[in-house]
Structure 1
């Protein structure tokens, strides 16, 4: 088949046909596997997500991911609480990863924040547009600074994630219960440090990786 368009058309038709079959997901993956296109899903280590336990089941490991609400600054009690958690609550020899993600996608958050500080009066629309542009420019470049100051002051949407996984080939009920208990301990410890968390499920992980441009898609 020399015509590239015909090759693409045939590939699409094969996928559509596969999706109409009873076991559409398995057949679709089989069709994708026969194609020469790279599959992003192959880069992700997890093979299953247990909705009930909130755990990711990987090839040879099992783990979880939490998203934390960033806090402005810290104090001695927060530092001591985090230090105590890291020293006494986590198993030795297993990495506990902390991820800080910065995104320029702040348009929706600017709109939300400006609801409380919007202008009123005859020139409201004009002044609101100027205010919005000021913050959007800070996200695209940086905040305007007085002459002589060269500080990287930008507007970003910051997100913090905690991830943890430990070896587990059999994924036994005992392993799952132990991991569930560890999640409860970590979340309670973080709450004691005034850090609120929520579980990251499979759909949220895909949105983090793709939707928030952590990995830039080909275009």
Structure 2
């Protein structure tokens, strides 16, 4: 395996190169090609590790949580404390419009025609079902697919989406370090430790391979994948560098002051990507409030009108150096607060509070990290201004102030991709004042780990969350038993409509349904499903089997 890796990297520029602006080289692919800026080189299939330009790394896909508490935040702090200095950790939360696969499973679960086998034998392939259950399911799927691209409501914006969460980790190391088996074991041990920590915090996760990385990055570097409800899977070719398999050769990037336009010849108007950084943070913000940054829970007007990607990048600093820095600044802030300057400098007391909090964090074994947030919005060019205003309103309502990254689009796009936070790239971000120092606890409470509940695994019913999350539900998915449920609502709020939907959906998957109806809410449904509607009236002589 080491010899194979050496031959692969020898044919690719991984060592002995002269950096071009820190990204591409003359011996690499042309600097004008964005693929040359990507760090991904090779993939170690046995260890499921990535060999990048200046680092070794891995990527995990997480299940976003629907809420958080203090215990979860305390558990997650160990994600940073166990990492060596120079480690780059990134969280990527993407509101994806790709919902076709979930809806396909929902439609395929409906009961088939009685002559389905004969029709399939005649055509030599599965034939379309013509029963009422399938016809209605197809209409619903079409309606929801349309809602993934444009608003389902006219009064406010509401689109269907699927929130996906990725976590990537990169450790300093070159191609030579990839041949060090001890270095690989160290990285795999770190991955196992982080996976256990995430599971302890109720964040299920899985290890991603090269195909997952390619398909993830291709979403944000090509105009025709985000703008659809589904995209064909890209497969990894181990004979080529990963970076060359991400960006389509016909993708054109046009930088503009407001954003980066992605388009193709002969295509539609393309896609405009706008990027934002946080200029100002609120004084207090907790992990369980991060769900409000994907859209307001109670105000329908404060919802994103386009797919968006929220990234947190954390660079682990040397704890010994940080301890010296915090101690020195804390002493200096204490002296200034006790001096006469405090009377004419109102921010002296605030600085003392900040450095005291940092010193207290150091005392309990924590440290400082360097972090950044990056918000990317992908919309049609004629809708970019509206998406910009909505995003600003959502973040402003939570105490944040966003800044548009004017003429910094490619750096912002790189900062939004996995495993790009190497030491060299972190220095580049620091030069542009794009990073800030925070405590490890701050880095956890500001992580985009909160989205909406996805529901259960079986798509017997399909719903949409308040922020647009496509939700599948089956009350019989409870492995612990107890399949009871209750519906509570004010008069006229739709309780009977929901119960009709549940009854029809379960009958559509060939379940037996009994209903006790007071008010004839289920009569039409029962007759449409060719069921038996039994009326209890004084003039009817009924005899029920007890």
Tell me the TM-score normalized by structure 2: 0.30
Output the CA distance in 2 between the equivalents of 1:116 and 1:73.
30
160-169 vs 179-188, which moves further: 160-169
Secondary structure class of the residue paired with 1:97 = strand
Q: In structure 1, what is the equivalent of residue 102 of structure 2? A: 109
TM-superposed CA distance for 1:80, in Å, is 3.0
* Aligned residue among 129, 142, 146 for 2:138: 129
Match of 1:153 in 2: 158
SS of 1:162's equivalent in the other structure is strand
**Aligned match of 2:220 in 183, 206, 214?**
214
Partner of 1:162: 167
Q: How far apart are 1:192 and its partner, in Å?
A: 0.7
Residues 107 and 94 (structure 1), Cα distance of their counterparts in 2 relative to 1, 3 Å cut: same
Match of 2:211 in 1: 203
- Describe the superposition over 1:27-76 as per-residue Cα deviations: whole angstroms up to 9, x where unpaired: xxxxxx9x98x766534312221112221112321111111123333344
Structure 1 Cα separation of the partners of residues 131 and 42 of structure 2? 56
CA RMSD of aligned residues (A): 3.4
Q: Secondary structure at the match of 2:189?
A: helix
1:108 Cα offset (Å): 1.9
Equivalenced residue count is 183
Alignment-derived partner of residue 191 in structure 1: 199
Q: 1:110 to 1:189 in 2, by over 3 A?
A: same
* Partner deviation per Cα, 1:2-23 (whole Å, 9 max, x = no partner): xxxxxxxxxxxxxxxxxxxxx9
Cα deviation for residue 109 of structure 1 reads 1.3
**Structure 2 Cα separation of the partners of residues 51 and 59 of structure 1:** 18
**How many angstroms apart in 2 are the aligned matches of 1:193 and 1:138?**
33
Deviations 1:57-98 (A, max 9, x none): 12321111111123333344333322x323533334432100
Q: Out of 138, 151, 154, which is 2:147 matched to?
A: 138
Decide whether aligned partners of structure 1 residues 168 and 113 sit closer, same or farther in structure 2, where only a CA change above 3 A counts.
same
Match of 1:58 in 2: 52
**1:175 maps to which of 169, 180, 183:** 183
Quickly say closer, same or farther: Cα 1:156–1:80, change in 2 above 3 A: same
Return the offset for 1:115: 4.6
Whole-angstrom CA distance in 2 between matches of 1:187 and 1:205? 18
- Of the two structures, which has the highest relative contact order with CA contacts closer than 8 Å and spacing of 6 or more? 1
Unaligned 5+ residue runs, structure 2?
1-7, 12-26, 114-129, 223-247, 252-263, 265-546
Determine which structure has more spread, i.e. the larger CA radius of gyration.
2
**Structure-2 residue corresponding to 1:30:** none
Give me the whole-angstrom Cα distance separating, in 2, the residues matched to 1:43 and 1:186: 28
Q: How far, CA to CA, are the matches of 1:78 and 1:207 in structure 2? A: 30
The reply to whether residue 95 of structure 1 matches residue 88 of structure 2 is yes
Provide closer, same or farther for how the CA distance between residues 136 and 59 of structure 1 changes in structure 2, counting only shifts above 3 A. closer
Relative to structure 1, the CA distance from residue 184 to residue 112 in structure 2 (aligned partners, 3 Å threshold; closer, same or farther) is same
Aligned counterpart, 2:533: none
**What is residue 274 of structure 2 aligned with on the other side?**
none
Q: Distance in 2 between matches of 1:113 and 1:125?
A: 10
SS at structure 1 position matched to 2:211: helix
Asked if 1 retains the 8 angstrom alpha-carbon contact of 2:151 and 2:158, the reply is yes
In 2, Cα distance between equivalents of 1:103 and 1:140: 11
SS of the equivalent of 1:153 reads coil
Structure 1 runs (4+) greater than 6 angstroms displaced: none
Query: Which residue of structure 1 lines up, in the alignment, with residue 73 of structure 2?
Result: 79
Q: Retained in 1: the 8 A contact 2:88–2:169?
A: yes
Q: Structure 1 length as normaliser, TM-score?
A: 0.68
- Counterpart secondary structure, 1:189: helix
- The match for 1:44 among 24, 38, 41 is 38
